[in-house]
Structure 1
Amino acid sequence: GIVYQISLACSISIFTSCLLFGLPWLASCQACPSGASEDCPTIGRSGNYKKFQCAPGHYNDLASLIFNTNDDAIRNLFSHSTDSEFHGSSMLIFFVTCFFLSIFSYGIVAPSGLFVPVIVTGASYGRYVGMLIGSSTSLNNGLFAVLGAASLLGGSMRVTVSVCVMLLELTNNLLLLPLVMVVLLVSKTVADGINSNVYDMLMMLKGFPYLESHAEPYMRQLTVADVATGPLLCFQGIEKVRNIVDILRNSRHNGFPVIDDPPYSESPVLFGLILRAHLIVLLKKKAFFRAPVSAGLDVFDQFSSVDFAKDASGSGDKIEDSELTDEEMEMYIDLHPFSNASPYTVVETMSLAKARILFRQVGLRHMLVIPNTCDRPPVVGILTRHDFMPEHIFDLYP
């Protein structure tokens, strides 16, 4: 609930604040460099040399990274003139802290962001690698920080061209382009062989049924009937209130086919599709009849366009909020005036890949599956985004 989400965000904020304030105690104080281009120690939010309980003329390198803004921290890590300002142990602690705090804080309800933390984390581990091999190369640690940030961005988010442009603008050094391109190529290739990018993984964990722009090759070997699982819940064109309430309370479906059976038609035929929200509005307004008769045009007089508009908050009315008497439960509702009489339909033998392309390009929420013979019910299934997800297909056909 909301209380849990707020408590989680506050708990992580308090834990992060306490952790970041306590970590600089693990780092030792260092003497201020003699040729520093700014005051040492610095006073204020910005600056490379944070005093943090050190004696006059000394600074704490870990505090200089933690108590700075992200912009200044990135600038210090990318700088080529700060090789002697940071100790290896401080850089390792800063990298591990940024890495795990980014993971913990990104998944909570508060929008904490991930792009800048990934740059800071990648720059810190890249600079740490530069410190480890510093004796065997003439390259400065700032270059390793740039390459480290590029590798983590390419490996976690799968961004390539935009990272090249961004890092070149940050460093204003066109000579870094070949190195950045090689690092991005290697990091993205290795990451693609392991898993998907962090945004796709987060959407999967959150349960968001996001459809990619292309269909997977195995979908061409399946038909829509292979993934349209049951049971299928339908309504008659003129339905009893009790049946509508029972189905809405016992299912979470958002759309229901409307079928006309004899004597309202010569044979069972698909009339259309009605949404769950519209059914709840009909129950709320109590547009009932004592007998199973067709509604006239005057049925719209008790409704306005606002009644069927989607709630901006996304909550809307719930079936549990409907209060109906036993007498009202035995009445009838004519669903014909409130149904979509022209829903998108596909034959059950259509390729799943073709149906997925149609579903995504048109922006549908429901797609009805009709049989290819006349001796069967008019609707044999209904497809939603969930039915096109690879996880659902692999569960059916492991």
Structure 2
Amino acid sequence: MSTTSAVANGDEESITNPLLPLRRSASNATSQVAIVGSNLCPIESLDYEIIENDFFKQDWRTSGKLQIFQYIFMKWTLCFFVGLIVSLIVFCNNLAVENLAGVKFVVTSNMMLANKYAAAFSVFAASNFGLTLFSCVITALVAPEAAGSGIPEVKAYLNGVDAPAIFSIRTLFVKIVGSITAVSASLHVGKAGPMVHIGACIAAIMGQGGSKKYWLTWKWLRYFKNDRDRRDLVTCGSAAGIAAAFRAPVGGVLFALEEMASWWRSALLWRTFFTTAIVAIVLRALIDVCLRGECGLFGKGGLIMYDVTSANVSYHLKDVPPTLLLGVIGGILGSLYNFLLSKVLRIYNLINEKGTACKILLACLISIITSCLLFGLPWLASCRTCPADASEPCPTIGRSGNYKKFQCSPGQYNDLASLFFNTNDDAIKNLFSKGTDSEFHASSIVIFFVTCFFLSIFSYGIVAPAGLFVPVILTGASYGRFIGMLVGSHSNLNHGLFAVLGSASLLGGSMRMTVSLCVIILELTNNLLLLPLIMLVLLVSKTVADAFNGNIYDLIMKLKGFPYLETHAEPYMRQLTVGDVVTGPLQLLHGVEKVRNIVHVLETTGHNGFPIIDESPRSEAPVLFGLVLRANLIVLLKKKAFLLDPVRTDIDAFKQFSAEDFGKKGLGRGDRIKDIELTEEEMEMFIDLHPFSNASPYTVVETMSLAKALTLFREVGLRHLLVIPKISGRSPVVGILTRHDFMPEHILGLHPLLVKSRWKKLRF
């Protein structure tokens, strides 16, 4: 029985046989592009492998104790500056948002007090529209890569995906300014996600190994001209971003470990913790300055810290069922949130493809709708009498507080306006506040929940820096408080604590993190006594949501087209060998190769790695020597390290080069083959590639299962994996596996019948 018929008939023998070896498609047309921010870009892979060749060994042997000390010292110094700069930028970001949004709300509220409702709405809507327009214009025209939260892009980078301009100076500037204006425009977007991208940008810029363009040519920086050290520094930067956003240094470290990093080790843990500790110290010092009233409207707000320390958290066994209910609801709503957001992003992508004008018009439309809802919906709520034992003035005097007067008479307040007519941070504080069980009506909470749920979905995909953390926290807090109202006296927990648990449940249901989210919530609420309940609600919500779909950032990465390598192989990969997916044609180079041949290969292919073969006197077939990178070939051509005769040079090759010559270029455009000018005489010369080739590349036999090869490829952090034949006598190399060869769309393009196979859906 053939393999095809075995699959069709469900024969048990097909479990041990490779699927569809005779029905392979002749070619695969999938492209290596992805949406970075809101811009469609070609992508490449990063190379985390240490290249071991004669030149590397020679350079390593000349490194003394001083050079080793410089290298270690620079690692820690860069982490210090990453933490310092990230904390300063995040503080200024919060300062700007609080003052921009604060002035807008103060002016609008004063007009409302004077019964100038039409003028108040005009000012409110116009300011939101202007801020949104500014954010979208600079994003669309200056740096489309800055759109969105940036977390999927950073996560893909740490997995080994290299996207152009993702960490450029231009992207950093737009991310900072665009995030400030988008959040100030009352859009239901957060700033925590952009802060992760900002931290990663700062780390990448500092760790690019120096730059003549920006006058960063200090010789110590040369140690970081490689992808491995940059990856570690970007991991520290992403942790610093979360630590600064939530004032949660330990949560930042765990977030980088659980969600962002694909490779982790104890040495990186130390440096990441050091970076977030610097963030915490600097922010604490800056907050003390603002508490003295020296930051305008920015005081206790801005930095997301919802203190519920003094709240009564004495809970008993009867409080467990409501907590479990919140977990189940959070899992269902979280998976629904992810599903709807993925559909909306697909629609937005179709709109964005029509041009820049359509991107900006879409954002402006969302801004107008948001302004109408935020200003109009509070009119549906009835005015409530101010409580006699209120802990703050009622109605609220100033910008923030639980008791917004809005259109009500003196001595009354509008509870829905207290949530809508505020920054997202202040709305969360109102929902988390203790001693306010009777100050919000159930209908107001329901209206607020439904509005937040859909506004956060439709606001995320616009061409502006926008995060998901804060909108998800706000949405979860609203239904958590509603559940607290339903439970009533049957629970010892107050409504504010139910709001905290609701936020945790929706975060777990949408983002599917457990440990890091638990610590972040504890740090931002400053209440360790909530730990058991938060752990329980996160575990339940994640378990329920995992039954429906994946976490939100993985879904967004798939939508954007990033070739992200998952931790576990798909089940059908166990039934395929590497020989089933490797494609050609394969370009080989000799150990001593003619310049003309090298130039021809570089000009006619887009490959970044080429196997090096040598003719062996002991064998009729050539033997594999190693692998040479495109970047190294371009350096050799640029330096014109040519030979008149095809002979090996060995140690003499080092005289013309330094280790810095073969370091990874910094941000911006690298050297290209078309920029190198060669004479006809030079084209007939030779280059000895042996000293500059990786003499010990990772190889696998063509009969190895694809699942096993994926594990090796991901765990080691490879860019190229050579496939060698099972039987000697043929070419020493069958092909090269790259990240693209492990992507489902590539495999299913080669083997279309796998789509109908039962192995596609099977989970081991």
> Does 2:628 align with 1:278?
no
Name the SS for the 1:253 alignment partner.
Answer: coil
Paired amino acid for 2:606: R
Q: Give the Cα–Cα distance (whole angstroms) in 2 for the partners of residues 259 and 60 of structure 1.
A: 78
1:280: how far off?
Answer: 1.7
Moved over 6 A (4+): 107-111, 134-140, 262-265
Mean CA deviation greater in 247-256 or 13-22? 13-22
Contact 1:5–1:108 (8 Å) recurs in 2: no
1:167: how far off?
Answer: 5.5
The 1:320–1:206 alpha-carbon spacing in structure 2 relative to 1, beyond 3 Å, is: farther
Name the SS for the 1:306 alignment partner.
Answer: helix
Contact 1:45–1:69 (8 Å) recurs in 2: no
Contact 1:168–1:177 (8 Å) recurs in 2: no
Match of 2:696 in 1: 342
> Does 2:362 align with 1:23?
no
1:220: how far off?
Answer: 3.3
- 1:318-354 residue CA offsets vs partner (Å, 9 max, x unmatched): 3343344555445433322211111111111223333
The 1:101–1:250 alpha-carbon spacing in structure 2 relative to 1, beyond 3 Å, is: farther
Match of 2:762 in 1: none
Q: Give the Cα–Cα distance (whole angstroms) in 1 for the partners of residues 673 and 405 of structure 2.
A: 61
The 1:110–1:23 alpha-carbon spacing in structure 2 relative to 1, beyond 3 Å, is: closer
Paired amino acid for 1:201: L
> Does 2:386 align with 1:33?
yes
Contact 1:257–1:274 (8 Å) recurs in 2: yes
1:189 to 543, 555, 560: 543
TM-score, normalised with respect to structure 2: 0.45
Within 5 Å, give how 1:123-162 maps onto structure 2.
123-128=477-482, 141-142=495-496, 144-161=498-515
1:159: how far off?
Answer: 2.6
Contact 2:384–2:415 (8 Å) recurs in 1: no
TM-score, normalised with respect to structure 1: 0.80
Mean CA deviation greater in 151-160 or 64-73? 64-73
Q: Give the Cα–Cα distance (whole angstroms) in 1 for the partners of residues 146 and 510 of structure 2.
A: 28
The 1:217–1:121 alpha-carbon spacing in structure 2 relative to 1, beyond 3 Å, is: same
Match of 2:705 in 1: 351
1:101: how far off?
Answer: 5.2
Mean CA deviation greater in 222-231 or 22-31? 22-31
Contact 1:32–1:40 (8 Å) recurs in 2: no
Paired amino acid for 1:248: L
1:236 to 590, 601, 607: 590
Match of 1:3 in 2: 142
Contact 1:237–1:334 (8 Å) recurs in 2: yes
Q: Give the Cα–Cα distance (whole angstroms) in 1 for the partners of residues 743 and 519 of structure 2.
A: 34
Paired amino acid for 2:502: G
Q: Give the Cα–Cα distance (whole angstroms) in 2 for the partners of residues 264 and 334 of structure 1.
A: 21
Within 5 Å, give how 1:345-384 maps onto structure 2.
345-384=699-738
- 1:165-196 residue CA offsets vs partner (Å, 9 max, x unmatched): 66677495958946x56644543233212221
Q: Give the Cα–Cα distance (whole angstroms) in 2 for the partners of residues 67 and 203 of structure 1.
A: 33
Match of 2:555 in 1: 201
Paired amino acid for 2:373: L
1:394: how far off?
Answer: 4.2
Within 5 Å, give how 1:75-90 maps onto structure 2.
75-79=429-433, 81-87=435-441, 90=444
Match of 1:256 in 2: 610
The 1:290–1:15 alpha-carbon spacing in structure 2 relative to 1, beyond 3 Å, is: farther
The 1:287–1:142 alpha-carbon spacing in structure 2 relative to 1, beyond 3 Å, is: same
Q: Which has the higher helix share?
A: 2
Mean CA deviation greater in 204-213 or 116-125? 204-213
Which one scores higher on RCO, CA 8 angstroms, separation ≥ 6? 2
The 1:189–1:271 alpha-carbon spacing in structure 2 relative to 1, beyond 3 Å, is: same
Name the SS for the 1:310 alignment partner.
Answer: coil
1:306: how far off?
Answer: 1.2
Within 5 Å, give how 1:107-118 maps onto structure 2.
112-118=466-472
Match of 1:312 in 2: 666
Name the SS for the 1:279 alignment partner.
Answer: helix
1:380: how far off?
Answer: 0.2
Mean CA deviation greater in 290-299 or 236-245? 290-299
Name the SS for the 2:662 alignment partner.
Answer: coil
Paired amino acid for 1:282: L
Q: Percent identity?
A: 68
1:254: how far off?
Answer: 2.1
The 1:275–1:171 alpha-carbon spacing in structure 2 relative to 1, beyond 3 Å, is: closer
1:225 to 579, 597, 613: 579
Mean CA deviation greater in 251-260 or 289-298? 289-298
Paired amino acid for 1:5: P
The 1:6–1:387 alpha-carbon spacing in structure 2 relative to 1, beyond 3 Å, is: closer
Paired amino acid for 1:223: T
Name the SS for the 1:361 alignment partner.
Answer: helix
Mean CA deviation greater in 152-161 or 334-343? 152-161
Paired amino acid for 1:74: I
- 1:268-298 residue CA offsets vs partner (Å, 9 max, x unmatched): 1111101121112122222234554444643
Paired amino acid for 1:194: F
Contact 1:61–1:86 (8 Å) recurs in 2: yes
The 1:283–1:90 alpha-carbon spacing in structure 2 relative to 1, beyond 3 Å, is: farther
Q: Give the Cα–Cα distance (whole angstroms) in 1 for the partners of residues 576 and 618 of structure 2.
A: 36
The 1:238–1:176 alpha-carbon spacing in structure 2 relative to 1, beyond 3 Å, is: closer
Q: Give the Cα–Cα distance (whole angstroms) in 2 for the partners of residues 43 and 60 of structure 1.
A: 14
Contact 1:348–1:370 (8 Å) recurs in 2: yes
Q: Give the Cα–Cα distance (whole angstroms) in 1 for the partners of residues 636 and 531 of structure 2.
A: 65
Contact 1:164–1:177 (8 Å) recurs in 2: no
Contact 1:24–1:60 (8 Å) recurs in 2: no
Mean CA deviation greater in 197-206 or 12-21? 12-21
Contact 2:596–2:683 (8 Å) recurs in 1: yes
Q: Give the Cα–Cα distance (whole angstroms) in 2 for the partners of residues 308 and 108 of structure 1.
A: 40
1:300 to 654, 658, 673: 654
1:70: how far off?
Answer: 4.7
The 1:126–1:293 alpha-carbon spacing in structure 2 relative to 1, beyond 3 Å, is: same
1:104: how far off?
Answer: 5.9
- 1:12-42 residue CA offsets vs partner (Å, 9 max, x unmatched): 8286555555433211273451322211232
Q: Give the Cα–Cα distance (whole angstroms) in 2 for the partners of residues 217 and 294 of structure 1.
A: 47
| Unpaired runs of at least 5, structure 2 | 1-38, 40-140, 148-173, 188-366, 756-764
1:94: how far off?
Answer: 3.9
Q: Give the Cα–Cα distance (whole angstroms) in 1 for the partners of residues 707 and 538 of structure 2.
A: 32
Name the SS for the 2:661 alignment partner.
Answer: coil
